[in-house]
Amino acid sequence: MLKILHLSKLSSRFLNKSIACFSQPFIQKEYQFISDDEADYEFTAAFVNEADFQNFANAQTIEEVIKVYQENNLTPQKIHFPVFQICALLNRNPETKNELLHQFITENVLPSFEILKPSQSITVIVLLQKLQNKSYNAQIKKHIEQNLQSYNSKQLPHIFYFYSKQGWKMFHIAKILKQQLRTSEFNIVGLCSIIRACYIESTQLKSIIHSDLALKASKSLITKIDDMTAHQQIAVFNQLAKMKLHQSTSNKQFPLLLYKLAELFIQNLGKINLHSKLKLMESYQFVINNFPNTLFEVLFKSIEIDSLNSQNKLRLYLNLKEQKPFNRLKDDKMQHLFNKIKFDEVTENNLLLKLLDIEFGRQNSSIIDSIIVRLNSAQNLNSKQKIEFLRVIIKQNKVSKYLDQIKITNDHLPRLIDQAYYCHRYVKSLPSQEQQDNIQASTQQLMERLQQLESKSKLSISHYILSLEPYPGDPFYEFINSEIKLDELPEKDYIHFLLRLNSQNHFNHELKTKSEMMAPSLDQLQSIINNISNIDYLNDKLVKQISKWLVDIANKSIIDGTFNIHLLLNLIFKIVLYTPLYTLHTSRGTVMQSIRELLNFSSTQISQHQGNLEVDLYLFLKFYKSFLNLDVKTNLIFNICQNLCEQMDNFEDLEKLQIAAIVTDLNPNSFMNLQIINAFLIQILRLKMDKFIFIQIRTKILLYQVKYKEKLNCAVQISSLEEMINQLKMELIQFNFTQNTKEHYYDGLMTLLDYDAWRIGIQKVENDGLSDFIKLHFQNLNESLNMKSMRPGLRTVIRIINQCENKYLFIQRYDNLFQQMFSKCKQVRNQEIPHIQACLDYIEFAKKLKLSNKDIFNFLINQIQEQENNLKSTQIVQIIQKFAELKIYAKPFYDNLSNLIISHSKQYSRIELLDVMNAFAKLGYFNQELVINILENTQQELKQLNNGVISVQTLWSILTSFYYFMKELNQNLFSRYEGIIVHLMQNVSQFVYLEKIQKVPIIFRQFMDIYNLVEFSGHLNIQLNQLQQEQARLIVENGKTQVKENIIPNQKSTQQFRSLMKFLDKNKIEYKMHHYFDSQYVDFYIETRRMIISVDNSLYVTNDMQQYTGFHYINEWILEGATKKYELKSIRIKAWQWLQMSEEQKTKILQL
């Protein structure tokens, strides 16, 4: 029988108490004002009505709670009930923690955490948050990370806040919450928790994502403002103000919620207690200057200073001291207030520390000294206050006087160094010269004291200094330079100094030189790489240096005859596999040159190696998958695979299949010895295995041999391949998902798809149902696929399309399937914001397959916009180029990208900037500031424009952009950049590679646009100077023969234009046909006796048919010149409309 304690009146009052601080007694400790355990009271009310909770409701001590749990023999799934009551008891008395509670948590609570439901686990998290035990928190972190998708919009804010209190990385949770705020309903407690967590994070790290998240949460609170408690209102007002969102958000917005709250506080002024008034006044230190000051004024007037006790007078003094100038009292009144404070009555250490941090008046120096003496001997300072005390004595220049009294030990020194470091590093940001001088003097005194330490202590301190970032004028790294003999360090210390120093950007030239001369032995480097994933300060600089060390050691070992290619390869695999992707790339987003050199170096060594490679096959297979994400051109994979194929007898059958799966993905042209490759593949075909993977790989091999039979010099019967195709189909029909993975099933379908793509180009095949089979069986995976799991499949499809001889027919046959695959990008786990590269992969897929889905494109744009401040420069260029090819017009998005490019233009190569300008011009997006920025950069180095193709693109883009600016903005930039235009015209006039670029239609079209434009330039308002006119004449003369003899005769008109000519012939209208180039065909226009008739086509409009592209604008310009030259009217027909018109409509639009 359950032993139940009855619910007492005390616990009932506790559960239902109000948290409104308007009516609460004055709270002394600041950290209590911002509650760490604010609860969702709707949830609490439901929780306490649970029958199982009644067992614990009357327990008045932690011991009683634990006893009831043990006596009732409750299951681990109900551990959250006693945990909730323990939380309630700790709320009443935070000091009740004991050994019995520790035992209960370690033996009962933590082991049960993984089996609790998300709503139940939040209760445990709240308890652990109160206990602040890092060991407890670490034990549940992994489970939380793995199950983030399980927490809903009521629960995830608690997780977010919990992470912020631990100082854990929470960027990924912020992204999820930011997404959820769009689609899910959050309650007030959740929104307040989000803001509170973002505020805590902002005190440590200025992150745009957290600022944007706090702003979004504040917008959601506006409609709930009347339902917020007073405590919540004041806390949110204070936190949002302190975050300075008008400076830290991506759009520099100031929260509208603060205006609403300020009005509310004025209305309820009589209900606000003193502490709340001071908190609200404090907020005015951080708001924008034009924020209404009415609230501050009425708050200050309502405070009766003479009736305050000394502690509250000090609070008011500190508050006013830090206010903006227009809210401060005059100096004499401030001093009068200071003199009224009886400091021996002030018992709160935080207030005294705050005073020492901001008060430097010489008239108050005796009081400051007395407070320092008092705090130095205080026994009740917590760890945070002790650190703060060290900082203020540095700012007060009291280090030398009190250094001995503080009784500094090796444990205290890092704290003192830490405070001196931050004070000294940011000394110039302090408001007064006196404070700056104090810190300089204090730091000098500290460094002198450090130099007097014994060698062992110096080494210990230097280890700590290495965790700090160097800066100009840094005395701390100078201490290492002058006091530590790097070449005499013990091995363990040497490795630490080696890695730390080489991960830093040094301003101390002598120390920088010393660190560059340091190098590990092979054994030491091997140990470093084996443990590379455990280096928490690993960055791209250190990875670059590790790669360089590896190449240097390898080169030396080649000379002395000790080179080990096997070890080198395995170490390379580990570098690529176990370092974060960002450390392998430069800040621009390209793979680091040192990594490229390392991969190419190893590739060269393998090609020269005699004998077998002893590589860790498991590592190699993982490396291959990671390698696909690196944009590096190297034969490394080919050379490794060829060597592995040579030693085929050394592998198990399953390992052979894994190698064959890679080989058949590769282009045979890059293998040095195809006989070895084919012999290996033939041996695989001879294996006898029952497994699905063997049948799938066997089919893939036969298809590979059929595709490349001439290169492989092998005789493969197509009938054998067809037999395997049928067998693979049967295996897919009978596929057992419990014995095989979904990846195997998917690979099987991709092999069938690859086969169908090949035979479309080779054979005339009747519809045998294979495409229907693939589409049907894809549905078995459809539900389980999401954005992440679909990505490898997209890459496979792109590879298949690249190899397909009849791409158009293949894409047409599987259009619905590809659209289905493409739509998977919207399926993300728990509404997470997907990685930028994933979005780029889907855009590339859409570009390759010419897919069009406005809804999905908008989704991808939104996902990228959420992370636009994390975009690398190479990614921005890729996005713009791909979107331009897809003709996707998104002005706000392009405005933001343009601003990013303008702000960081030095991170872009000039070719990249020109690519951006050309892509935007083709798309019809024109940003004058961006174009001018790019051209200003281009003027500095015109040699890069000597390439013919680049010259055509750039001149076309400039002419198109300038025309738009002239027509739409009344801005003429031709004379400002006449030097660039003349240089480009000279290159284009000598452009003699027309035959070579007829396979590049867009470049050719741009050349023809330039040709036609300059031919009509005399009739346009281009205002070319004499030199430009001469170059324009040369372009026409040099191009005329090529255009007439080689271009026009080989072109075909569009369906729409042929329809137009047929209509004119039918109506017996005489006309002449003229030409200029389109994306794939010549674009024709017709000249009648009275007018010029042109037909717009798809090149002239964006994907959604809502905007004109750059080709439309330059075409319009050309026609303007043509109509003026021939004194004719112009009629433009939209291509997508012409074929849908009736005879009557056609007659009317042509004015016949």
**Blockwise average pLDDT, block size 10, the chain, 1152 residues:** 31 30 30 37 46 73 86 83 86 73 89 88 87 86 84 90 86 84 88 93 74 93 93 94 89 92 94 92 94 95 90 94 92 93 93 92 89 88 86 88 60 82 90 89 91 90 93 94 94 96 93 94 95 90 94 94 93 92 76 89 91 91 89 91 92 93 92 92 89 93 92 87 93 89 91 91 71 92 84 88 86 90 80 76 85 84 80 90 89 91 88 93 93 87 75 90 88 85 83 58 77 79 75 75 59 65 79 51 54 72 81 84 78 71 81 66
pLDDT of residue 409: 54
Contact (CB, 8 A) for 1044 and 1037: no
pLDDT of residue 859: 86
CA distances from 858 to 71, 392, 865, 905, 926 (A): 59, 52, 10, 27, 20
Handedness of CA 619, 621, 625, 627 (dihedral sign): positive
The Cα–Cα gap between 274 and 1018 comes to: 79
Instruction: List the alpha helices (DSSP H) in 184-330.
Output: 188-204, 208-221, 230-243, 245-248, 256-267, 274-283, 294-302, 310-321
Give me the phi and psi of 322, to 5 degrees please.
Answer: -100, 5
Q: Could you tell me which residues come within 8 angstroms of residue 757 by beta carbon, excluding any fewer than 6 positions away?
A: 800, 801, 803, 804, 810
pLDDT of residue 6: 32
Instruction: List the alpha helices (DSSP H) in 396-536.
Output: 399-402, 413-425, 433-451, 455-465, 475-483, 491-502, 509-517, 522-530
pLDDT of residue 30: 32
Three-class secondary structure of residue 901 per DSSP: helix
- The one-character DSSP state at 26 is P
The Cα–Cα gap between 917 and 914 comes to: 5
pLDDT of residue 1122: 78
The Cα–Cα gap between 281 and 275 comes to: 10
Give the tokens for residue 456. 């062992």
The Cα–Cα gap between 1130 and 1125 comes to: 12
Contact (CB, 8 A) for 658 and 692: no
pLDDT of residue 999: 56
Contact (CB, 8 A) for 585 and 872: yes
Give the tokens for residue 733. 């029909």
pLDDT of residue 1082: 36
Half-sphere exposure of 369 (CA within 13 A, CB side): 6
Contact (CB, 8 A) for 571 and 526: yes
The letter for the amino acid at 324 is K
Output the CA angle 613-614-618, nearest 5 degrees.
110
Output the CA angle 868-872-875, nearest 5 degrees.
85
Q: Percentage helix, strand, coil, to 5, in the chain? A: 70, 0, 30
Give me the phi and psi of 879, to 5 degrees please.
Answer: -60, -50
- Whether the model pTM is above 0.75: no
Q: Could you tell me which residues come within 8 angstroms of residue 962 by beta carbon, excluding any fewer than 6 positions away?
A: 972, 973, 974
Three-class secondary structure of residue 585 per DSSP: strand
Angle of helix 873-885 relative to helix 910-923, nearest 10 degrees? Answer: 30
Strand partners, 1083: 1076
Would you kindly state where each structural domain of the chain is located, as residue ranges?
453-504, 519-646, 930-1152
pLDDT of residue 1086: 61
pLDDT of residue 407: 54
Name the pairing type of β-strands 1082-1087 and 1072-1077: antiparallel
Angle of helix 692-707 relative to helix 674-685, nearest 10 degrees? Answer: 140
The Cα–Cα gap between 58 and 76 comes to: 21
Q: How far apart are the first and last CA of the chain?
A: 100
